[in-house]
Every structure is written in C-alpha cells, then in structure tokens.
A and B are shown apart, each in its own frame.
Chain A
Amino acid sequence: MARSATVSQRTKIKRTAPRGFLRRVFKRYKPHLRLEARGDLLVHLSCLLFIRRLAEESRTNAYENKCSIINKDHVVDAAKVILKKSRG
C-alpha cells in the first residue's frame, strides 16, 4: 500500500489519530468555532501530509549537505519552504 506499510521492528507507529488532542488544540486557538466530528480526522490527515512533506524536505537538505544526521538547520530550511506551501 503506502510506503509506511512496512515498519521496522524497533519502531511502532500508532495509526490512531489523537482526536482529543486535536479538538483541544482547535478549541485553544479558536474557542468561538466548532469542529465537526469528522473534521478532526481530516485535520489529522492534513497534519500527516505536512509531516511527511517536512520530513522529505529535511532529508533532502541533509543529503545535500552530505550529513548523515538531520540537523536543526536542515529542519529550519525545510520548514520555511513547506510552511509557505501549506499556507492555504
């Protein structure tokens, strides 16, 4: 299916969405708004996609700098690009 179908034995990826956490975050930022039941799942989806893009970008940056470890600078540069992209 997707790339993350095979998971290494060490890491255990939880696929459930932290729905309560997402609702609380939304309430914290926008208390006057309401979020629908299925809305937070889509928010989770958008977060997943954002993280994916961010990880790819930072990995590319690390490769370009010929580092085997992702540094803070790589992440910062990647975040600049991706946040601009997901501005909406």
Chain B
Amino acid sequence: MADSPSPDSEPTTRTLLRRVLDTADVRSPRRRRSARNAIQRSVFETTSSRSLGSQTKTSVRRRSHGARSIGRLAHVQASAYLEKDTPRTLLKNILLTAPESSIMMPNPVVKLVPLSQVVQSYRRESSQGSLELQLPELDPPTTLGPGLPTSSRKKQRLRLSVFQQEVNQGLPLSQGEVPNFPYASFLFTRSLNLTFTTPLQPQSVRRPGLARRPPTRRAVDVGALLQDLQDNSVASAPPGDSLRIPVATQPTNIVLEDTQPFSQPLVSSFPSVHHSLPHPPHTGVEDAERTLDRRTWNSGLELQDHMSRTDYATTSSPISELQPPLPEVTEAAGSEEAVRVKELEGSSEDEDTSGEPASPELATSTPELLQLPPPPGVGVLPSEPLEPVPARLPSRPRAAGPRPYRDPYRTGLSHYVKLFSFHAKMPMEKKAVEMVERCLDKYFQNLCNDLEVFAAHAGRKTVKPEDLELLLRRQGLVTDEVSMHVLVEQHLPMEYRQLLIPCAFSGNSVFPAH
C-alpha cells in the first residue's frame, strides 16, 4: 500500500518494515471497529429510516448497495483482521523475532543492495507464482557480495532452500505486500541464521584431512619412535647433529605439507627423527623391517577409517617426493615399532622406562603410540611442540607413578591442621602434625557425643544451634561477659556472621528468622 518510501533510501530492513506497517496501519483495529460500528449504526439508521420513511426501489437499492459495499468492506476488513496469515502479521512476527541488525556490519548492507534491485524487478512481475523464480535470482546477488566466504554462500543457499520450503507450504502473500517479500526473505535468512547452525560434519567431509588426522599422526609417531630406538640401539647418535638437523628441516617440511593443523607436526617430526639418524639403518634390516612395517601399519590403520590409509599414503607420497631416503626411513621407522614391541616384550629400554607401562598395550591399540614421542629424548627436541598436540587426541593418560592416595578424612582435617601450624607460629615436627590430627579426631568424637546428649535432653533428634551454644558455654568459651555473637564476630568471616547473627532489616523483618 505504501509505495512512497523507496527502499533504496533506507539501509535497514527494520526501518522499512516499520514504515510499511505504519502506513498500513491506516486500517487500524480501532478504526476498523469504529468503521464497523459506524456501518452498523448506518445500517440501523437506514433500516430505521426505511421503516419510517417511504420506501422507493431506488433508495432501497442504493442503500442496500451501499450497505452491501460497506458490508463487503467491513467483511474484507474483518476477514483481514481475523485472518492469521496476513503478511502484516508475518512481518510483525519477523520484526519481533529477527535480531536487531547492526548497521555497522558491511555484509547486510551489501546484501540489501542487490535485494533492493531484486525488489524492483519483483514488483514489475508482481505475481505470486514467480516466488520460486525469484530465488535463483537472489542467489547470484548474494554470492556477489564481497568478502563472502564459501561456507557462508553455501549457508545462504541452504537458508534459501529452507525458505523455499516454507514458501511452498503456502504462505499467502498478497500482491499488495510484494515489495516486502525480499526483505522478508532476507529477514528469514537472517533469522534462520540464528537457528540454522551449519553442521560440522559437511565441513569435515569437505576437508578429509581433519577427519583422518589422528590415524596418520599415530602411524608416523610410531615410526619415528622405532627409528629413534633403532638408532639408539644400533648406532650412537651425536646429539649435536640431531639437534641441528631437525630444526633445519622443520620449516621446509612445513611449507610442503598442506595447511592442515595436525599433519604439520606429523611431517615435522617425521624428518626430524629421521635426520637424527646419522647412519641410515642397514638395507637388509630395512627389508626385513619393511614387511613388519606393513603389518604394524595395517594393524594400526585397521583401527582407523579406510580413508585414513589413503590419506596417509597421500601424505607419505609428497614426503617421498621430497627426500628419497625418507620412504626407506619411514618404513624403517614403522618397522621400529614392531622391533620396539619385541624389544619391550623381551627387555626393558633405557629411555622408555616411562613408556614401559604402556608397552603391553602397544600391540593392541595405536593410541599408545602417542606416548612414544615424548620418551625418546635424543634428537627429538622438535617433537616437544608435538607433545601438546598429541595430548589433544584421545590418548590414555600417562601415569607418572601411582597417585598417593590420601584418606579424605585426613584431607578434611588438614584444613584445621594448617590453622594449627599458623597459630603456633613455630616450626613443627611431622609427628607433631600427626598428633594434632589425632587430637582433632578425638575432639570431633567428643563433640558429637555431647551434641547427642544435649539434643536428647531437649527431646529432639536434630541438633540445633542452641545445643551448640550450650556446648560452647560448657567449654568455658561463652560466658556471661562473652556471648556467642561476640565469638562469631571475632572468628568467622562476614558471610557466616550474617547467617548466624539475627539482624533487623527494613520492613520490620529479621534475618535470619528466629
């Protein structure tokens, strides 16, 4: 109805909608009602006048026609008023539900510009059937928006599809409300923005590396460990070289690897460990180990997805392209796992004493492999940044020894023992501390017994603060001069003071109530 305000003048849809609604408010309920009353009154008047005055066909016709027209108008208005699915009510709901758009954001402004163009084109068409046709037109303008990432574009497409479904369900949009449609769609999309959370699954499908991240890393780590072990067992590795070389090789490998967060450390650890070997292992040993490698690799990978194997192959292939000796070394590294398993089964390793508790589980689960990078300390300094990364994966917690179990009763008493040592102001023996704990325990027992006696004396089964006060009195702490409130104020923090001492508040109320 209100076409006077051009949508291009105002940037926000909210203001536009407001305008529309305000202009549409010409037909306000009050006025409607008044119109209806006026109509009714006029009808009564006509009938009364008819009854009174002489009736002529023309006058009757006119009046009836007028009454009919008025009635139709009233009916239309009434129907419009009663109808729930008016675009007006829809827009009102949109305004209520849609978030307040900040004009600061460039995106909505950008989106509005193409939408306004679409509005004008839509107005020209002015047909409900073209709703579906409009949607593909809406797509390019939205995608043309600058700085829109691919994911948001897909989001928009999805949002529009949802809106399309809703449209197909049969939202009646009168032609008079045509210009509001694109804004409604925009607002729908915006409101859908809130509710329509893009699931992470499609993203993970699109980026397979994120999903396959764990298995590849584990396999490599194992290989690196075995490599290290073999290196330590076979040849002596000068720590200087191992320190230098891995650092040098790290950046190159990072560059060549694709930008997946967890594959980076994989690659970086990979050559670092390998370069820590000054003497590459025996070829004969390698061949023997290769077969073992495949077995261990397969055993490890079987636990993961099928895709993981392909991913590992892809990651391993660029590595092989980089440095020819790497594939051999990787296989050797992978074989080291089997070797390591054997070794650990047989004898204990010097370095991996901490990893030993995990060794029996190595053959069973690959997550154990994550623990292997930390233990070998020789020439695996770059693997240190890997430690927080492996920790992110679901790995079994590395037990740094049996946690000293403390009796919860003792831990609770320690609170008071600390207070004792504070008040004593002198250093204490350990035995003295234990003695204090025992005294406290004894005191608790006495306390409970006394409270039970007092409560039974009062004929109660619940220990009340009065019993506590009596106890303190008998202990000699509360006297006629020193009341319990004084003690409470002296020794307890204010929060407890408020709970214990009744205080008068405004409104003739006392808290806590006695």
The reply to whether B491 and A49 contact each other, CB–CB distance below 8 Å, is: yes
B464 contacts partner chain A, Cβ-Cβ < 8 Å: yes
Contact of A35 among B409, B412, B415, B462 (CB under 8 A): B462
CA distance A54 to B445 in the complex (A): 17
Q: Tell me how far the C-beta of A44 lies from the nearest C-beta in chain B, rounded to whole angstroms.
A: 8
CA distance A54 to B443 in the complex (A): 11
Partner of B476, one of A39, A42, A85: A85
Contact of B416 among A45, A47, A82 (CB under 8 A): A47
**What is the CA–CA distance of A21 and B432 in the complex, to the nearest angstrom?**
23
**B243 on the interface (CB 8 Å rule)?**
no
Minimum C-beta distance from A51 to chain B (A): 5
| Pair A16/B493 contact, Cβ less than 8 Å | yes
A75 near B439 (CB under 8 angstroms)?
yes
Q: B487 and A45: CB pair below 8 A?
A: yes
User: Measured between C-beta atoms, what is the minimum distance from A57 to chain B in Å?
Assistant: 10
Q: Is the CB of B462 within 8 A of A33?
A: yes
User: Is A66 an interface residue, CB under 8 A from the partner?
Assistant: no
A20: shortest Cβ distance to chain B, in Å?
8
The answer to whether B435 has its CB under 8 Å from any CB of chain A is yes
Would A33 and B452 count as touching, CB distance under 8 A? yes
Q: With A and B bound together, what is the CA distance between A30 and B455 in angstroms?
A: 12
A77 to chain B, nearest CB (A): 10
Residues from chain A with Cβ under 8 Å of B487 in the complex: 45, 49
Give the complex CA separation of A7 and B421 in angstroms.
12
Q: Which chain B residues border A48 with CB–CB below 8 Å?
A: 416, 419, 491-492
Q: Which of A1, A4, A39 is close to B423, meaning CB atoms less than 8 Å apart?
A: A4
Inter-chain contact B426/A34, CB cutoff 8 Å: no
In this complex, what residue of A is CB-closest to B415?
A18
Contacting residues, chain B, for A26 (C-beta < 8 A): 448, 463
Given the complex, which residues of A lie within 8 Å of B467, measured CB to CB?
A: 39
Interface residues on A, range: 35 or more
B444 touching A70, Cβ below 8 Å: no
Report how far A86 CA is from B426 CA in the complex, Å: 24
* B245 part of interface (Cβ distance < 8 Å): no
Q: Closest approach, in angstroms, between the C-beta of B164 and any C-beta of chain A? A: 57
Pick from B424, B435, B493: contact of A76, CB under 8 Å:
B435
B206 at the interface (CB under 8 A from A): no
Known contacts A55-B423, A62-B426: A47-B432 contact under CB 8 Å: no
Shortest distance between the CB of A80 and any CB in chain B (Å)? 9
Q: Mark A19-38, 1 if CB is under 8 A from B, else 0.
A: 00100111001101111101
* Residues on the A chain within 8 Å of B475, using CB: 46, 49, 85-88
Residue among B440, B447, B512 with max Cβ neighbours from chain A (10 Å) = B447
Contacts A4-B423, A79-B435 given; indicate if A70 touches B446 (C-beta within 8 A): no
The docked-state distance in angstroms from the alpha carbon of A51 to that of B418 is 10
CA distance A39 to B461 in the complex (A): 13
Is B98 among interface residues, defined by CB-CB distance under 8 A?
A: no
Q: Is B105 an interface residue (CB 8 A)?
A: no
Task: Output the residue of A49, A52, A55, A74 with the most chain B CB within 10 A.
Answer: A55
Is B429 touching A72 in the complex (CB atoms < 8 A)? yes
| Closest B residue, CB atoms, query A79 | B439
B429 touches A70 (CB 8 A): yes
Q: Are A51 and B419 in contact, with the CB atoms below 8 A?
A: yes
Contact (Cβ within 8 A) B493 A4: no
- Whether the pair A14, B415 counts as a contact (CB closer than 8 A) is yes
CB–CB B442/A59 < 8 A: no
Choose from B423, B432, B512 the contact partner of A52 (Cβ within 8 Å): B423
Least distance between B472 CB and chain A CB atoms (Å)? 6
Which residues in B have their C-beta under 8 angstroms from that of A45?
A: 472, 487-488, 491-492
Complex CA distance for A14 and B412, rounded to whole angstroms: 13
> Within 8 Å of chain A (Cβ to Cβ): is B496?
yes
A39:B418 contact, CB within 8 angstroms: no
Contact of A55 among B424, B462, B469 (CB under 8 A): B424
B474 part of interface (Cβ distance < 8 Å)? yes
Residue of B nearest to A3 (CB): B423
Contact flags B446-464 to A (C-beta < 8 A → 1, else 0): 1110111001000001111
Interface string of B474-514 (1 = CB under 8 A from A): 11110000001001101111001001100000000000100
A70 in contact with B419 (CB, 8 Å):
no
Q: A30-B452, A76-B435 are in contact. Are A41 and B415 (CB under 8 A)?
A: no
Interface contact B439-A54, CB-CB below 8 Å: yes
Interface residue? B425 (CB, 8 A): yes
Is A43 within 8 A of B491, CB to CB? no
Q: Which residue of B lies closest to A46 (CB)?
A: B472
- How many angstroms from the CA of A76 to the CA of B428 in the assembled complex? 13
Q: Chain A residues with Cβ under 8 A from B418's Cβ? A: 11, 13-14
- Could you tell me if B428 and A70 are in contact, using CB atoms closer than 8 angstroms? yes
Q: Is the CB of B446 within 8 A of A86?
A: yes
Q: How far is the CA of A68 from the CA of B463 in the complex (A)?
A: 42
The answer to whether A39 and B468 have CB atoms under 8 Å apart is yes
Q: What's the minimum C-beta distance from B232 to chain A, rounded to whole angstroms?
A: 44
Known: A1-B490, A38-B500, A88-B474. A70 touches B463 (CB 8 A): no
A30–B431 Cα distance when bound, in Å, is 29
Q: Name the residue of chain B whose CB is nearest to the CB of A82.
A: B439
State how many angstroms separate the Cβ of B489 from the closest Cβ of chain A.
9
B-binding residues in A (CB < 8 A): 1-2, 4, 7, 11, 13-18, 21, 24-26, 29-30, 32-36, 38-39, 41-52, 54-56, 58-59, 62, 68-72, 74-76, 79, 82-83, 85-88
Task: Provide a sorted-by-A list of 16 A–B residue pairs whose CB atoms are within 8 angstroms.
Answer: A13-B422, A14-B415, A15-B493, A18-B415, A29-B445, A41-B492, A41-B496, A47-B416, A47-B443, A51-B419, A62-B426, A69-B429, A72-B435, A75-B436, A87-B475, A88-B450
